Structure 1
Amino acid sequence: MDNYRDDMIDDRPVKTAILRGLRCRCPNCGKGRMLDGYLKVRDTCPECGETYSHHRADDGPAYLTILVVGHILAPAILWVFIAYRPSPMTMIAMFGAGTLALSLLLLPMFKGMIVAIQWSRRMHGFGAGEIVHD
C-alpha cells in the first residue's frame, strides 16, 4: 500500500489544477468560471458540470492572503521609510491603499487555488464514488 499513489496515473495533476484555480477557472476543464461573484464558489461548473459543492476552503485563502501581502509590503514599508522618510500620513495612505488593493486581488485567486487543490487531491468528497484503480 506504500506505492499506492506512485503506481497510479495522476489524472488530476496538481500543477494544472493550481494554475487553473489561480485564474478562478474550473480545475477540471479550465474554461468555466469557478466563482459566482467575488468569493462565492459555484455549485457546479457551467461548462463541464463538475461539482464544487464539496469544497472546504474556509479561512485558508484569507490566511494565505495575509501571509503574502505581509511578506511583500513589510519590506517595502521598511525600505520606503528608511530611504525617503515620508510623513506618517503619507505612509498610511500609500501602504493602506496598497494593502487593500493587493488583498482584494489575491483573495479570490487563493480561494480558487485552494478549491482546485482539494479537487485535484480528491479531498472532502471530490471524486467520491469514482473507482480508483491500482
Structure 2
Amino acid sequence: MTESAAYPPLSPWKTGPACRCPRCGKGKLYKGFLTLAPSCNVCGLDLSFADPADGPAFFSMTGVGLLIMALFAWIEVAYHPPIAFHLAFTLPLLVIGCLATLRPIKGWLVASQYYYKAEEGKFEHYGKHGPF
C-alpha cells in the first residue's frame, strides 16, 4: 500500500491552522509553543523536512500590524486619547495578536510544505544551455 493510498492528501488550510499532522490530520504538530515535534505521534511522519524559517513571524506581524494600526489611527483621529491609552490598549493588542496567530500560521506553512512537496532548489545539469 502506497503512502498516497493510506493517507489521502489533506488540505493545508485544514490541518495547518489546527496544528495537526499534515499527513494524517490527527497527530500533534508541536511539542512546545512553536517547537515542531520530531515526528507525528499518530502516523510517524518525520517532520524534519519542515523549515518555515521567518515566514510565520512575517505574516503574523504584517497582518496583525495592519489591522491594529488601522484601529490605532481611527481611535487617534476620532477620540484623541492620551498616549497612556495607546500604551495600555494598542500595544497589548499588537503583542497578543501576533502571539495568537504564530502557531496557526506556522502550521499552515509546514502543512503547505508537505502538501506541495517543497524542497531546497538544486541544479540538475550545469552548462545545459551552452558554454556560458
CA offset digits 1:45-75 (Å, max 9, x no partner)? 1011111111111111011111111121111
CA contact under 8 A between 1:56 and 1:124: conserved in structure 2?
A: no
Aligned partner letter, 1:37? G
User: Superposition pairs for residues 57-72 of structure 1, below 5 Å?
Assistant: 57-72=52-67
Structure 1 stretches of 4+ with a deviation exceeding 2 A read none
Aligned partner letter, 1:69? V
Partner of 1:24: 19
The number of equivalent residue pairs is: 113
User: Superposition pairs for residues 1-134 of structure 1, below 5 Å?
Assistant: 12=9, 16-124=11-119
Partner of 1:4: none
CA separation in 2, counterparts of 1:19 and 1:68? Answer: 20
Aligned partner letter, 1:77? F
CA separation in 1, counterparts of 2:14 and 2:63? Answer: 17
TM-score (norm 1): 0.79
- 1:67 counterpart SS class: helix
Note the C-alpha offset of 1:103: 0.8
CA separation in 1, counterparts of 2:99 and 2:61? Answer: 11
Q: What runs of 5+ residues in structure 2 fail to find an aligned partner? A: 1-7, 121-132
Residue identity over aligned pairs, in percent, reads 29
CA separation in 2, counterparts of 1:74 and 1:84? Answer: 15
Aligned partner letter, 2:23? N
Note the C-alpha offset of 1:124: 2.4
Q: What runs of 5+ residues in structure 1 fail to find an aligned partner? A: 1-10, 126-134
CA separation in 2, counterparts of 1:44 and 1:124? Answer: 18
CA contact under 8 A between 1:24 and 1:34: conserved in structure 2?
A: yes
Note the C-alpha offset of 1:42: 0.9
CA separation in 2, counterparts of 1:27 and 1:84? Answer: 46
TM-score (norm 2): 0.80
CA contact under 8 A between 1:22 and 1:109: conserved in structure 2?
A: yes
